[in-house]
Amino acid sequence: MGGITTLAEAPPPGWYDDGLDREEYNPIDENRFQRPSDSPLSTFSIDVDGASYSNVRRFINDSQRPPIDAVRIEELINYFTYDYPEPSGNRPFSINTEVSEAPWSDRRRLVQIGIQGKTIPTANLPDSNLVFLLDVSGSMDAPDKLPLLKSAIRLLVNELDEDDTVSIVVYAGAAGVVLEPTRGDEKDAILDAIEQLSAGGSTAGGAGIQLAYDLARSHFIDGGNNRIILATDGDFNVGTSSEGELIRLIEAQREDDIFLTVLGFGTGNLQDAKMEQLANHGNGNYAYIDNILEAKKVLVNEIGATLLTIAKDVKIQVEFNPAKVQAYRLVGYENRLLRDEEFNDDTRDAGELGAGHSVTALYEIIPVGTEPDVDLPSVDELRYQDSASSANSANSASLPDSEDPADLSATADSDELMWVKLRYKEPTGDVSQLIELPVTDRGVALDRSSDDFRFAAAVAMFGMVLRESDFAGTTTLDRVETLARAARGDDRDGYRSEFIRLVETYGLLDRRLDR
């Protein structure tokens, strides 16, 4: 039997045959350690998506080992909410940092950077102009596709009111409007239009996207939430269908301040890579809906985060102090890395932050004076750098005050581990704003760190197990489970408890497959 493995086949560890299966994932080249002397800056776009976690959960609950490239560790971590403080003043989010031991290596420290978006009560959300762009092609004819999609959209419709507007565009062999803009309180008309949908034909996704944006523009609400909600398995095969073509089409639309939410459905031919990139390039977010409870999480419990963008083009840049940091590694975010110069480039697209969203990033640090437990990169001695440094010192009078060499030397001798900078724009803005703050390591032991720190670390460890990471150190599934249990905290919605059960389930599956 081809495709994704099942328990009965008992393949060797890490086996995954994507040649006979039509699910597509972008390859991930795991971030490696860098030396501050060679690479002093680390720059990336935030990622609020949780699609990878629910997709991985689908594989494990189906007694299958997830393909390695389906595991995006940052999305596993950011599937969960963290108890970061709400922002104060006029800023749309707070920035929080914490440093402690890396639980998978006693020679490494772990730095957590947490961003918390301002929470806006559902009653205070701005009016919405929503265009549902629904895939009704033949590939959607399965219980976990169109029927689940219809149930999910019904949940969202029940949250709307008379100030909201809903339109429905469908696409199969061609695209068409099945519901002209309709007030959100006319639920019978909206739900009846959804109920009438059936699957059949090929997939003209590009034509559907163009039609949906045209409809959204024609009923644009100034100061409102103007958004396309694309629900599909991503299997576009008619007209504009390649990932590159679709991305260019989406990029051409995003300047109109119409945001994009992508909801993925189904198994067997899930085009995860394509849907992730559409969301990334369309000022949007991407969720994978594997069951009705996940639909409720995304479209009801987290409706503000899903539908309302409070900051766009959010980028993070970290500068490491070589006096304190021997080497560093960003955990995850491989698909979100930026060139250092793009941090200050306001034309460079980056991630969007929704109301109430939290974003967490982790850096592994090997401190100066610590014997590394991994191979670190090295380069040959450089020929020109000493003379170049002297020339720069001679021209230091032309540098801004903040870049005076004496100031930089003083900073290197400080207790600062790293300097964090963050840029963001208002949802309809074109000019970014800058936030900066230092991070110091106060030597906090792991058992004295916060529940949020330890739980995020446990999720990262699980991701490294799934990815068969070179940097997993002493990680075992038992250690993941023990750490997660101790850091479960309040867990009002039960998502952390579900994670612990998922780790247990994978442990049983993993032992069976390794026989």
Average pLDDT rounded to a whole number, residues 464-489: 96
Closest to 510 (Cα-Cα) out of 471, 473, 481: 481
Instruction: Name the percent of the chain lying above pLDDT 90.
Output: 68
DSSP string covering 276-300: HHHHHHTTEEEEE--SHHHHHIIII
DSSP string covering 73-126: HHHHHHTS---PPPP-TT-SEEEEEEEEEETTEEEEEEEEEEEEEPP--GGGPP
Please tell me whether residues 195 and 160 are part of one structural domain.
yes
CA distance 100 to 122: 36
Whether 331 is covered by a domain: the verdict is yes
Pick the most confident of 300-304, 317-321, 371-375. Answer: 317-321
Closest to 257 (Cα-Cα) out of 429, 65, 500: 429
Whether 203 is covered by a domain: the verdict is yes
DSSP string covering 386-452: HHHHHHHHHTGGGS-GGG-HHHHHHHHTSSEEEEEEEEEE-TT-SS-EEEEEEEE-----GGGS-HH
Please tell me whether residues 362 and 501 are part of one structural domain.
yes
Please tell me whether residues 429 and 479 are part of one structural domain.
yes
Contact in structure between 74 and 363 (CB atoms under 8 Å): no
Whether 271 is covered by a domain: the verdict is yes
Confidence class for position 396, pLDDT limits 50, 70, 90: very low
CA distance 232 to 229: 10
Please tell me whether residues 447 and 323 are part of one structural domain.
yes
> What is Dmax (Cα atoms) for the chain?
75
Please tell me whether residues 108 and 185 are part of one structural domain.
no
Instruction: Tell me the two tokens of residue 50.
Output: 């949780």
Contact in structure between 262 and 277 (CB atoms under 8 Å): no
Q: What is the pLDDT of residues 373-389, one digit of tens each?
A: 888 988 888 788 765 44
Q: Check whether 486 has a pLDDT greater than 70.
A: yes
Residue with structure tokens 């596993």?
76
Q: Which of 289, 307, 325 is the last residue of a domain?
A: 307
pLDDT at residue 513 in the model:
56
Contact in structure between 50 and 271 (CB atoms under 8 Å): no
Closest to 425 (Cα-Cα) out of 346, 316, 360, 337: 346
Whether 399 is covered by a domain: the verdict is no
Instruction: Tell me the two tokens of residue 279.
Output: 């969301």
pLDDT at residue 249 in the model:
79
CA distance 243 to 273: 8
Average pLDDT rounded to a whole number, residues 431-459: 96
Whether 61 is covered by a domain: the verdict is no
Q: Nearest 5°: CA angle at 119, between 488 and 317?
A: 80
Q: Check whether 80 has a pLDDT greater than 80.
A: yes
C-alpha radius of gyration, the chain, whole number: 24
Q: Check whether 441 has a pLDDT greater than 80.
A: yes
Least confident window among 99-103, 110-114, 200-204, 432-436: 200-204
Q: Check whether 323 has a pLDDT greater than 70.
A: yes
Please tell me whether residues 184 and 266 are part of one structural domain.
yes
Q: Check whether 202 has a pLDDT greater than 70.
A: no
Q: Which of 307, 336, 356 is the last residue of a domain?
A: 307
Please tell me whether residues 346 and 273 are part of one structural domain.
no
Please tell me whether residues 116 and 128 are part of one structural domain.
no
Average pLDDT rounded to a whole number, residues 105-127: 93
Confidence class for position 394, pLDDT limits 50, 70, 90: very low
Instruction: Write down the mean pLDDT value for the chain.
Output: 87
CATH number at residue 50: 2.60.40.1230
Q: Check whether 310 has a pLDDT greater than 70.
A: yes
pLDDT at residue 46 in the model:
95
CA distance 340 to 326: 20
pLDDT at residue 162 in the model:
94
Average pLDDT rounded to a whole number, residues 93-97: 96
Average pLDDT rounded to a whole number, residues 446-467: 97
Contact in structure between 314 and 350 (CB atoms under 8 Å): yes
HSE-up of 276 (CA within 13 Å, CB side)?
A: 23
Please tell me whether residues 191 and 272 are part of one structural domain.
yes
Q: Check whether 209 has a pLDDT greater than 50.
A: yes
Closest to 454 (Cα-Cα) out of 484, 498, 499: 484
Closest to 45 (Cα-Cα) out of 366, 283, 256: 283
Whether 404 is covered by a domain: the verdict is no
Q: What is the pLDDT of residues 234-259, one digit of tens each?
A: 776 545 556 677 788 788 777 788 99
Q: What is the pLDDT of residues 333-367, one digit of tens each?
A: 999 999 999 999 999 999 999 999 999 999 999 99
- The total number of structural domains that make up the chain: 2
DSSP classification of residue 301: I
CA distance 364 to 417: 12
Instruction: Name the percent of the chain lying above pLDDT 70.
Output: 87
CA distance 503 to 62: 14
Please tell me whether residues 342 and 234 are part of one structural domain.
no
pLDDT at residue 409 in the model:
53
CATH number at residue 223: 3.40.50.410
Please tell me whether residues 289 and 315 are part of one structural domain.
no
pLDDT at residue 307 in the model:
87
pTM: 0.88
Average pLDDT rounded to a whole number, residues 85-112: 95
pLDDT at residue 412 in the model:
55
Structural element, H or E, at residue 313: strand 309-320
3-state secondary structure of 60: helix
Whether 460 is covered by a domain: the verdict is yes
pLDDT at residue 172 in the model:
81
Average pLDDT rounded to a whole number, residues 181-200: 93
Q: Which of 268, 292, 307 is the last residue of a domain?
A: 307
pLDDT at residue 379 in the model:
80
| Structural domain boundaries, residue 503 | 30-55+73-120+311-372+410-513
Average pLDDT rounded to a whole number, residues 258-266: 93
pLDDT at residue 242 in the model:
61
Please tell me whether residues 51 and 190 are part of one structural domain.
no
Higher pLDDT, 6 or 502: 502
Residues 6 or more apart whose Cβ sits within 8 Å of residue 375: none
CA distance 151 to 434: 42
Whether 177 is covered by a domain: the verdict is yes
Higher pLDDT, 406 or 71: 71
Helix pair 187-195, 146-157: axis angle to 10 deg = 180
pLDDT at residue 392 in the model:
44
CA distance 85 to 83: 6
